Amino acid sequence: MSEGIAVARIGDIPEGEGIQIDASVLGTVDSVAVFNDDGEYFALDDTCTHETASLADGWVEDGCIECPLHAAKFCLGTGKVESMPATVDVAPHRVVVEGDEIRVIPNPERLAS
């Protein structure tokens, strides 16, 4: 039995980049960004907590995503702030790879009611 919701296939997300998954697809309160960091996939809430920029448009480097607006950095694995100007973490979501499918298991705390 498959876990999560299929959002992409291996090869759909270039190395060092991310894609945005609409909140309606995952049933979450915010869109989710899925990132490829050296063949490992991560998912975080897509909206930077400093301003409302899309993290999917940012840069993946050294296990972090850098916001394209003011360069705040968040850990891909935990969503924790790694550098300011952001001071509030973003929520992480689980990612599993089954065959060639990348699947997101939404964080229960971020599900829409």
Question: pLDDT tens digits, the chain, 113 residues: what are they?
Answer: 569 999 999 999 999 999 999 999 999 999 999 999 999 999 999 999 998 899 999 999 999 999 999 999 999 999 999 999 999 999 999 999 999 999 999 999 999 98
Residue 82: what residue type? E
Q: Tell which residue, 71, 76, 45, 49, has the closest CA to residue 58.
A: 71
Half-sphere exposure of 57 (CA within 13 A, CB side): 10
Q: What is the CATH number of the domain that holds 47?
A: 2.102.10.10
Bridge partner residues of 33 (DSSP): 20, 44
The pTM score is 0.95
Total count of domains within the chain: 1
What is the extent of the structural domain holding 41? 5-110
Given this model, what pLDDT does residue 52 score?
87
Given this model, what pLDDT does residue 30 score?
95
